[in-house]
Amino acid sequence: MRPENVRYELTRRASFRDEIQKRTLIFLTNHFGLPAEVIAALFKARWEIELFFKWIKQNLRVKTFYGTSPNAVKTQIWIGMIVYLLLAILKQRYQLEPPLSKLLHFLDTNLFEKKPLICIFQPNARSLSRHQDNQLTLFDV
């Protein structure tokens, strides 16, 4: 006996053999017209997106949203993506060794200091920026 308020939908079981890792992947989908290879590629792309947002939540501290409107949520995600991409560009351009999470930490701890970005990320470049102390002092010591 079926409950009256439950909606049943047809699903398809699609399997795909990954020859690189020597395993068979099985997916459930409601797309009946797509080949199994396309279904597997879609799930792989979705997984990459999930990993990207996991990184944003862990490293850019986007765990909760400051606003609940669609515009506020999109704005905060865009800001997180921009920070991620800028760090990735800096890492590649200056061939920086630390992972992006450590580069973000360097940026976070030097947020209110007026100095070139390269001086924040490269230890040997930090000594080059000692020409002027741009941080305010609390006491004249």
State how far the Cα of 141 lies from the Cα of 133, in Å rounded to an integer.
14
How do the pLDDT tens digits run along the chain, 141 residues long? 566 777 778 899 998 898 888 999 898 988 899 998 899 899 889 999 888 878 777 777 677 778 889 999 889 888 888 888 888 898 898 888 888 888 888 888 888 888 887 788 766 654 544 445 566 666 665
Domain ranges of the chain: 9-52
pTM above 0.85, yes or no: no
Q: Structure tokens of 76?
A: 């905060």
State how far the Cα of 1 lies from the Cα of 10, in Å rounded to an integer.
18
In DSSP terms, which residues pair with 70 in a beta bridge? none
Judge contact between 18 and 7, C-beta under 8 A: no
Judge contact between 60 and 104, C-beta under 8 A: yes
* pLDDT at res. 123: 62
State how far the Cα of 82 lies from the Cα of 129, in Å rounded to an integer.
26
